Structure 1
Amino acid sequence: MKFLVFLGTIRDSTPPKPARLGARVAKACIACLNSYYPNHEIELVDVLDYPQDAVFKPHFAYPKGKAPSALDDLAEKIAAADGYILVSPEYNHSMSPALANLLNHFGSSLFSYKPSAIVTYSAGQWGGMRAAIGMRSFLSELGCLPVSAMIHIGKAQTVFNDDGTAQSDEERSSWFDYFNRTFAQLIWWAQATQTHRAEQDPHNIIADFKKDPAQRNAP
Protein backbone atom coordinates (compact mmCIF):
# COMPACT_ATOMS: atom_id res chain seq x y z
CA MET A 1 0.00 0.00 0.00
CA LYS A 2 0.95 3.65 -0.28
CA PHE A 3 0.91 6.22 2.52
CA LEU A 4 1.52 9.96 2.46
CA VAL A 5 3.16 11.69 5.42
CA PHE A 6 2.14 15.36 5.47
CA LEU A 7 4.61 17.64 7.24
CA GLY A 8 2.48 20.60 8.28
CA THR A 9 4.86 23.42 9.13
CA ILE A 10 6.34 26.16 6.97
CA ARG A 11 8.19 28.01 9.72
CA ASP A 12 11.86 27.69 8.82
CA SER A 13 13.55 30.31 10.99
CA THR A 14 14.72 31.02 14.51
CA PRO A 15 13.52 31.90 17.05
CA PRO A 16 12.15 29.56 18.18
CA LYS A 17 14.94 27.02 18.17
CA PRO A 18 15.42 24.59 16.59
CA ALA A 19 13.96 25.65 13.25
CA ARG A 20 11.55 23.21 11.60
CA LEU A 21 11.17 20.99 14.64
CA GLY A 22 8.49 19.05 12.78
CA ALA A 23 10.94 17.89 10.12
CA ARG A 24 12.72 15.60 12.56
CA VAL A 25 9.36 14.25 13.77
CA ALA A 26 8.27 13.45 10.21
CA LYS A 27 11.60 11.74 9.51
CA ALA A 28 11.20 9.66 12.66
CA CYS A 29 7.70 8.61 11.59
CA ILE A 30 8.97 7.56 8.17
CA ALA A 31 11.87 5.63 9.72
CA CYS A 32 9.45 3.81 12.01
CA LEU A 33 7.08 2.95 9.16
CA ASN A 34 9.96 1.69 7.01
CA SER A 35 11.24 -0.38 9.92
CA TYR A 36 7.94 -2.04 10.82
CA TYR A 37 6.35 -2.11 7.35
CA PRO A 38 9.12 -2.31 4.73
CA ASN A 39 6.79 -3.56 1.99
CA HIS A 40 4.69 -0.40 1.89
CA GLU A 41 5.50 2.82 0.03
CA ILE A 42 5.92 5.89 2.22
CA GLU A 43 6.21 9.39 0.73
CA LEU A 44 6.73 12.74 2.45
CA VAL A 45 4.57 15.70 1.43
CA ASP A 46 6.19 18.85 2.81
CA VAL A 47 3.87 21.85 3.01
CA LEU A 48 6.91 24.09 2.46
CA ASP A 49 7.15 22.75 -1.11
CA TYR A 50 3.78 24.27 -2.03
CA PRO A 51 3.04 28.01 -2.35
CA GLN A 52 0.73 29.42 0.32
CA ASP A 53 -1.29 31.70 -1.95
CA ALA A 54 -2.60 34.91 -0.47
CA VAL A 55 -5.84 34.33 -2.41
CA PHE A 56 -7.12 30.84 -1.78
CA LYS A 57 -8.30 28.86 -4.79
CA PRO A 58 -8.87 25.13 -4.39
CA HIS A 59 -7.56 22.65 -6.90
CA PHE A 60 -11.04 21.59 -8.00
CA ALA A 61 -12.04 25.21 -8.79
CA TYR A 62 -9.61 25.46 -11.71
CA PRO A 63 -10.79 24.57 -15.21
CA LYS A 64 -9.50 21.18 -16.29
CA GLY A 65 -5.84 21.40 -17.23
CA LYS A 66 -5.43 24.90 -15.77
CA ALA A 67 -4.46 24.11 -12.18
CA PRO A 68 -0.82 24.59 -11.08
CA SER A 69 1.13 21.45 -11.92
CA ALA A 70 2.18 21.00 -8.28
CA LEU A 71 -1.47 20.78 -7.21
CA ASP A 72 -2.27 18.39 -10.07
CA ASP A 73 0.59 16.12 -9.02
CA LEU A 74 -0.43 16.20 -5.37
CA ALA A 75 -4.07 15.47 -6.24
CA GLU A 76 -2.94 12.34 -8.05
CA LYS A 77 -0.83 11.26 -5.07
CA ILE A 78 -3.71 11.81 -2.64
CA ALA A 79 -6.09 9.83 -4.82
CA ALA A 80 -3.60 6.96 -5.19
CA ALA A 81 -2.74 6.73 -1.48
CA ASP A 82 -4.29 4.19 0.89
CA GLY A 83 -3.86 6.29 4.04
CA TYR A 84 -2.40 9.48 5.46
CA ILE A 85 -0.21 10.52 8.39
CA LEU A 86 -0.63 14.16 9.40
CA VAL A 87 2.27 15.75 11.34
CA SER A 88 1.32 19.09 12.86
CA PRO A 89 2.54 21.60 15.44
CA GLU A 90 0.03 23.43 17.63
CA TYR A 91 -0.89 27.06 17.01
CA ASN A 92 -3.37 28.69 19.40
CA HIS A 93 -4.55 25.24 20.50
CA SER A 94 -5.31 24.18 16.92
CA MET A 95 -3.61 22.53 13.96
CA SER A 96 -1.11 24.22 11.67
CA PRO A 97 -2.90 26.77 9.43
CA ALA A 98 -0.47 25.93 6.64
CA LEU A 99 -1.43 22.26 6.80
CA ALA A 100 -5.15 23.07 6.84
CA ASN A 101 -4.66 25.42 3.90
CA LEU A 102 -2.95 22.79 1.79
CA LEU A 103 -5.45 20.05 2.59
CA ASN A 104 -8.36 22.39 1.88
CA HIS A 105 -7.18 22.73 -1.71
CA PHE A 106 -8.62 19.27 -2.39
CA GLY A 107 -12.10 17.85 -2.24
CA SER A 108 -12.96 15.12 0.21
CA SER A 109 -13.57 12.70 -2.66
CA LEU A 110 -9.79 12.28 -2.95
CA PHE A 111 -9.31 11.48 0.74
CA SER A 112 -12.53 9.69 1.62
CA TYR A 113 -12.97 6.03 2.54
CA LYS A 114 -9.37 5.82 3.74
CA PRO A 115 -7.87 6.11 7.25
CA SER A 116 -5.56 8.73 8.68
CA ALA A 117 -3.25 9.02 11.68
CA ILE A 118 -2.59 12.13 13.77
CA VAL A 119 0.92 13.07 14.93
CA THR A 120 1.47 16.26 16.91
CA TYR A 121 4.53 17.70 18.61
CA SER A 122 5.74 20.72 20.51
CA ALA A 123 8.81 22.17 22.17
CA GLY A 124 6.86 22.13 25.44
CA GLN A 125 5.51 19.31 27.52
CA TRP A 126 2.04 18.78 26.03
CA GLY A 127 3.10 17.59 22.58
CA GLY A 128 0.42 19.46 20.67
CA MET A 129 -2.41 17.27 21.96
CA ARG A 130 -4.94 20.14 21.93
CA ALA A 131 -4.34 20.56 18.19
CA ALA A 132 -4.88 16.83 17.76
CA ILE A 133 -8.38 17.01 19.21
CA GLY A 134 -9.39 19.56 16.59
CA MET A 135 -7.74 17.53 13.86
CA ARG A 136 -10.11 14.66 14.58
CA SER A 137 -13.08 16.73 13.42
CA PHE A 138 -11.19 18.23 10.50
CA LEU A 139 -10.03 14.87 9.13
CA SER A 140 -13.44 13.28 9.68
CA GLU A 141 -15.04 15.99 7.53
CA LEU A 142 -12.33 15.47 4.94
CA GLY A 143 -13.43 11.84 4.76
CA CYS A 144 -10.25 10.13 6.00
CA LEU A 145 -11.33 9.16 9.50
CA PRO A 146 -8.46 9.18 12.02
CA VAL A 147 -7.65 6.00 13.92
CA SER A 148 -8.24 6.12 17.67
CA ALA A 149 -4.59 6.02 18.76
CA MET A 150 -2.64 9.26 18.33
CA ILE A 151 1.00 10.27 18.68
CA HIS A 152 2.04 13.25 20.82
CA ILE A 153 5.69 14.22 21.23
CA GLY A 154 6.47 16.75 23.92
CA LYS A 155 9.86 18.47 24.00
CA ALA A 156 10.57 16.95 20.60
CA GLN A 157 13.90 18.75 20.39
CA THR A 158 15.18 16.56 23.23
CA VAL A 159 13.85 13.35 21.71
CA PHE A 160 14.97 13.38 18.07
CA ASN A 161 18.04 14.67 16.25
CA ASP A 162 17.90 16.73 13.05
CA ASP A 163 17.92 13.58 10.91
CA GLY A 164 15.00 12.04 12.82
CA THR A 165 17.08 9.56 14.80
CA ALA A 166 16.43 9.19 18.51
CA GLN A 167 19.06 10.49 20.85
CA SER A 168 19.74 6.94 22.12
CA ASP A 169 19.05 3.38 20.93
CA GLU A 170 16.94 2.73 24.01
CA GLU A 171 14.79 5.77 23.29
CA ARG A 172 14.45 4.72 19.65
CA SER A 173 12.96 1.37 20.60
CA SER A 174 10.63 2.95 23.13
CA TRP A 175 9.40 5.69 20.81
CA PHE A 176 9.00 3.36 17.83
CA ASP A 177 6.90 0.98 19.95
CA TYR A 178 4.75 3.96 20.93
CA PHE A 179 4.47 5.13 17.30
CA ASN A 180 3.45 1.67 16.18
CA ARG A 181 0.36 1.64 18.40
CA THR A 182 -1.00 4.24 15.97
CA PHE A 183 0.61 2.95 12.78
CA ALA A 184 -0.59 -0.62 13.37
CA GLN A 185 -4.16 0.67 13.52
CA LEU A 186 -3.59 2.73 10.38
CA ILE A 187 -2.21 -0.24 8.45
CA TRP A 188 -5.08 -2.50 9.59
CA TRP A 189 -7.77 -0.05 8.53
CA ALA A 190 -5.96 0.81 5.30
CA GLN A 191 -5.88 -2.86 4.33
CA ALA A 192 -9.56 -3.25 5.18
CA THR A 193 -10.66 -0.19 3.22
CA GLN A 194 -8.41 -1.04 0.27
CA THR A 195 -9.97 -4.50 0.06
CA HIS A 196 -13.51 -3.18 0.32
CA ARG A 197 -12.92 -0.39 -2.23
CA ALA A 198 -11.78 -3.05 -4.68
CA GLU A 199 -15.00 -4.98 -4.09
CA GLN A 200 -17.35 -2.00 -4.17
CA ASP A 201 -16.58 1.56 -5.25
CA PRO A 202 -17.95 3.78 -2.46
CA HIS A 203 -18.31 6.71 -4.84
CA ASN A 204 -20.99 4.74 -6.70
CA ILE A 205 -23.00 4.47 -3.48
CA ILE A 206 -22.79 8.10 -2.38
CA ALA A 207 -22.13 10.38 -5.33
CA ASP A 208 -19.52 13.13 -5.04
CA PHE A 209 -21.06 16.59 -4.70
CA LYS A 210 -20.23 18.37 -7.96
CA LYS A 211 -23.30 20.56 -8.53
CA ASP A 212 -23.92 24.22 -7.97
CA PRO A 213 -24.36 24.83 -4.21
CA ALA A 214 -27.82 26.26 -4.90
CA GLN A 215 -28.88 22.79 -6.00
CA ARG A 216 -28.02 21.18 -2.69
CA ASN A 217 -31.00 19.74 -0.84
CA ALA A 218 -32.25 21.93 1.98
CA PRO A 219 -31.29 20.70 5.46
Structure 2
Amino acid sequence: MQDVDSLNLVMILGSLREGRNGERVARYVSEQLAKRGHRVHILDPQEIKLPLLTVPFHFRKAEDMPTLLAETNRKIKEADGIVLVSPENNRAAPPAITNFIDHFPPTSYKCKPTGVVTYSTGIYSGIVCAQQLVTMMTELGSPVIPTPVCIPTVHESMDPAGRTNNEHIVNNVAKMIKGIEWYGDAMRSQRKKFGLL
Protein backbone atom coordinates (compact mmCIF):
# COMPACT_ATOMS: atom_id res chain seq x y z
CA MET A 1 0.00 0.00 0.00
CA GLN A 2 1.41 3.37 -1.04
CA ASP A 3 1.70 5.63 2.02
CA VAL A 4 3.53 8.59 0.49
CA ASP A 5 2.95 10.61 -2.67
CA SER A 6 5.04 9.55 -5.64
CA LEU A 7 8.57 10.92 -5.60
CA ASN A 8 10.63 11.98 -8.60
CA LEU A 9 14.10 10.46 -8.14
CA VAL A 10 17.38 10.40 -10.01
CA MET A 11 19.71 7.42 -9.77
CA ILE A 12 23.37 8.06 -10.58
CA LEU A 13 25.47 5.06 -11.55
CA GLY A 14 29.13 5.02 -10.57
CA SER A 15 30.94 2.66 -12.90
CA LEU A 16 32.30 2.70 -16.44
CA ARG A 17 34.15 -0.60 -16.13
CA GLU A 18 33.66 -3.36 -18.66
CA GLY A 19 31.43 -6.08 -17.24
CA ARG A 20 30.18 -3.79 -14.48
CA ASN A 21 27.75 -5.19 -11.93
CA GLY A 22 26.08 -1.86 -11.29
CA GLU A 23 23.34 -2.47 -13.83
CA ARG A 24 21.99 -5.47 -11.92
CA VAL A 25 22.03 -3.49 -8.65
CA ALA A 26 20.39 -0.45 -10.27
CA ARG A 27 17.74 -2.66 -11.85
CA TYR A 28 16.78 -4.21 -8.52
CA VAL A 29 16.68 -0.93 -6.59
CA SER A 30 14.79 0.96 -9.32
CA GLU A 31 12.23 -1.85 -9.58
CA GLN A 32 11.63 -1.74 -5.83
CA LEU A 33 11.16 2.03 -6.01
CA ALA A 34 8.77 1.68 -8.95
CA LYS A 35 6.70 -0.85 -6.99
CA ARG A 36 6.21 1.89 -4.41
CA GLY A 37 4.97 4.25 -7.13
CA HIS A 38 8.10 6.39 -7.51
CA ARG A 39 9.59 7.62 -10.80
CA VAL A 40 13.28 6.91 -11.31
CA HIS A 41 15.46 8.60 -13.93
CA ILE A 42 18.75 6.73 -14.33
CA LEU A 43 21.76 8.95 -15.03
CA ASP A 44 24.44 6.68 -16.43
CA PRO A 45 27.95 8.09 -17.04
CA GLN A 46 28.35 5.41 -19.70
CA GLU A 47 25.59 7.17 -21.69
CA ILE A 48 26.07 10.73 -20.42
CA LYS A 49 29.73 11.00 -21.30
CA LEU A 50 30.93 13.92 -19.20
CA PRO A 51 34.63 14.73 -19.58
CA LEU A 52 36.94 15.08 -16.61
CA LEU A 53 35.79 18.28 -14.97
CA THR A 54 37.48 21.46 -16.12
CA VAL A 55 34.58 23.95 -16.04
CA PRO A 56 31.65 23.22 -13.67
CA PHE A 57 28.09 23.83 -14.84
CA HIS A 58 27.67 26.96 -12.73
CA PHE A 59 30.85 28.58 -14.11
CA ARG A 60 29.67 28.38 -17.71
CA LYS A 61 27.99 31.11 -19.72
CA ALA A 62 24.51 30.32 -20.99
CA GLU A 63 25.64 30.52 -24.62
CA ASP A 64 28.41 27.99 -23.93
CA MET A 65 26.19 25.49 -22.08
CA PRO A 66 26.07 22.04 -23.74
CA THR A 67 22.48 20.84 -24.09
CA LEU A 68 23.28 17.50 -22.44
CA LEU A 69 24.74 19.23 -19.39
CA ALA A 70 21.76 21.57 -19.06
CA GLU A 71 19.27 18.70 -19.43
CA THR A 72 21.06 16.54 -16.86
CA ASN A 73 21.20 19.42 -14.40
CA ARG A 74 17.48 20.03 -14.90
CA LYS A 75 16.70 16.42 -13.97
CA ILE A 76 18.78 16.67 -10.80
CA LYS A 77 17.20 20.00 -9.82
CA GLU A 78 13.67 18.69 -10.35
CA ALA A 79 14.29 15.52 -8.34
CA ASP A 80 12.85 14.95 -4.88
CA GLY A 81 15.74 12.65 -3.99
CA ILE A 82 18.90 11.00 -5.25
CA VAL A 83 20.10 7.40 -5.22
CA LEU A 84 23.79 6.66 -5.80
CA VAL A 85 24.69 3.17 -7.01
CA SER A 86 28.44 2.67 -7.02
CA PRO A 87 31.17 0.06 -6.80
CA GLU A 88 34.18 0.49 -4.58
CA ASN A 89 37.36 0.65 -6.65
CA ASN A 90 40.71 0.45 -4.87
CA ARG A 91 39.04 1.17 -1.52
CA ALA A 92 37.56 4.42 -2.80
CA ALA A 93 34.63 5.99 -4.62
CA PRO A 94 35.40 5.69 -8.35
CA PRO A 95 36.05 8.78 -10.49
CA ALA A 96 33.04 7.97 -12.67
CA ILE A 97 30.66 9.00 -9.88
CA THR A 98 32.65 11.77 -8.19
CA ASN A 99 33.40 13.43 -11.53
CA PHE A 100 29.71 13.18 -12.50
CA ILE A 101 28.50 14.72 -9.24
CA ASP A 102 31.15 17.48 -9.41
CA HIS A 103 29.86 18.82 -12.73
CA PHE A 104 26.75 20.29 -11.09
CA PRO A 105 26.34 23.00 -8.43
CA PRO A 106 25.42 22.34 -4.79
CA THR A 107 22.11 24.14 -5.36
CA SER A 108 21.01 21.31 -7.66
CA TYR A 109 21.40 18.76 -4.84
CA LYS A 110 20.43 20.92 -1.87
CA CYS A 111 17.56 19.97 0.45
CA LYS A 112 16.82 16.57 -1.05
CA PRO A 113 17.82 13.21 0.46
CA THR A 114 20.36 10.77 -0.90
CA GLY A 115 20.29 7.00 -0.64
CA VAL A 116 23.66 5.28 -1.00
CA VAL A 117 24.01 1.79 -2.48
CA THR A 118 27.50 0.32 -2.86
CA TYR A 119 28.76 -3.06 -3.94
CA SER A 120 31.91 -5.05 -4.59
CA THR A 121 32.91 -8.47 -5.81
CA GLY A 122 34.90 -8.94 -2.61
CA ILE A 123 33.87 -9.19 1.02
CA TYR A 124 34.11 -5.48 1.87
CA SER A 125 30.77 -4.49 0.29
CA GLY A 126 31.85 -0.97 -0.66
CA ILE A 127 31.66 0.48 2.85
CA VAL A 128 34.66 2.80 2.32
CA CYS A 129 33.09 4.15 -0.87
CA ALA A 130 29.80 4.64 1.00
CA GLN A 131 31.54 6.67 3.71
CA GLN A 132 33.14 8.92 1.10
CA LEU A 133 29.85 9.46 -0.73
CA VAL A 134 28.10 10.26 2.56
CA THR A 135 30.65 13.02 3.23
CA MET A 136 30.43 14.36 -0.32
CA MET A 137 26.62 14.54 -0.49
CA THR A 138 26.25 15.91 3.03
CA GLU A 139 28.60 18.76 2.15
CA LEU A 140 26.46 19.46 -0.93
CA GLY A 141 23.41 19.90 1.30
CA SER A 142 21.85 16.53 0.48
CA PRO A 143 21.35 14.60 3.74
CA VAL A 144 22.12 10.91 3.39
CA ILE A 145 19.61 8.29 4.53
CA PRO A 146 21.14 6.63 7.61
CA THR A 147 20.54 3.14 6.18
CA PRO A 148 23.09 2.53 3.42
CA VAL A 149 22.95 -0.63 1.34
CA CYS A 150 26.39 -2.28 1.06
CA ILE A 151 26.52 -5.48 -0.98
CA PRO A 152 29.50 -7.88 -0.83
CA THR A 153 30.19 -10.51 -3.52
CA VAL A 154 27.55 -8.86 -5.69
CA HIS A 155 28.13 -11.25 -8.59
CA GLU A 156 26.97 -14.07 -6.32
CA SER A 157 24.26 -12.14 -4.45
CA MET A 158 22.41 -10.88 -7.53
CA ASP A 159 21.85 -12.33 -10.98
CA PRO A 160 22.34 -10.26 -14.18
CA ALA A 161 18.59 -9.52 -14.33
CA GLY A 162 18.77 -7.86 -10.92
CA ARG A 163 17.05 -10.63 -8.98
CA THR A 164 18.09 -11.63 -5.48
CA ASN A 165 16.92 -13.84 -2.63
CA ASN A 166 19.50 -12.40 -0.26
CA GLU A 167 17.55 -11.38 2.83
CA HIS A 168 20.16 -8.82 3.86
CA ILE A 169 19.88 -6.98 0.51
CA VAL A 170 16.08 -7.18 0.37
CA ASN A 171 15.65 -5.85 3.93
CA ASN A 172 18.23 -3.07 3.63
CA VAL A 173 16.88 -1.82 0.30
CA ALA A 174 13.39 -1.74 1.82
CA LYS A 175 14.66 0.26 4.81
CA MET A 176 16.52 2.69 2.56
CA ILE A 177 13.42 3.25 0.43
CA LYS A 178 11.33 4.01 3.51
CA GLY A 179 13.97 6.55 4.53
CA ILE A 180 13.92 8.17 1.10
CA GLU A 181 10.13 8.36 1.28
CA TRP A 182 10.13 9.96 4.72
CA TYR A 183 12.89 12.47 4.05
CA GLY A 184 11.87 13.02 0.43
CA ASP A 185 8.26 13.87 1.27
CA ALA A 186 9.22 16.08 4.22
CA MET A 187 11.94 17.96 2.35
CA ARG A 188 9.75 18.44 -0.73
CA SER A 189 7.15 20.04 1.52
CA GLN A 190 9.76 22.34 3.03
CA ARG A 191 11.23 23.28 -0.36
CA LYS A 192 7.74 24.21 -1.48
CA LYS A 193 7.10 26.19 1.70
CA PHE A 194 10.30 28.21 1.24
CA GLY A 195 10.00 28.60 -2.54
CA LEU A 196 12.85 26.25 -3.43
CA LEU A 197 10.91 24.07 -5.89
**29, 47, 50: which is aligned to 1:49?**
47
Give the alignment partner of residue 6 of structure 1, picking from 9, 12, 22.
Answer: 12
The aligned counterpart of 1:162 is: 160
* Aligned residue in 2 for 1:179: 173
Corresponding residue number in structure 1 for 2:28: 28
Alignment-derived partner of residue 77 in structure 1: 75
Percent of aligned positions that are identical: 25
Look at both structures and tell me which one has the larger radius of gyration over its CA atoms: 1
Structure 2 alignment gaps of length 5 or more: 1-6
Report the secondary structure of 2:132's partner residue. Answer: helix
CA drift at 1:161: 1.6
Aligned to 2:3: none
Partner Cα separation in structure 2 for residue 6 and residue 91 of structure 1: 16
Give the deviation of 1:54 after TM superposition. Answer: 4.5
Unaligned runs of 5+ in 1: 13-18, 204-219
Which of 175, 179, 183 aligns to 1:189? It is 183
TM-score with structure 1 setting the length = 0.82
Q: Which structure 2 residues correspond to residues 86-101 of structure 1 after superposition, within 5 A?
A: 86-101=84-99
Task: Quote the offset at 1:101 in angstroms.
Answer: 0.3
- Report the number of matched residues: 191
SS of residue paired to 1:49? coil
Which residues in structure 2 correspond to 1:76-155 (within 5 Å)? 76-155=74-153
Asked whether the equivalents of residues 32 and 176 of structure 1 are also in contact (C-alpha less than 8 Å), the reply is no
Please report the TM-score for the alignment, with normalisation by the length of structure 2: 0.91
Deviations 1:128-184 (A, max 9, x none): 011111111101111111011100010110121212122xxxx16663332111111
Give me the whole-angstrom Cα distance separating, in 1, the residues matched to 2:64 and 2:9. 27
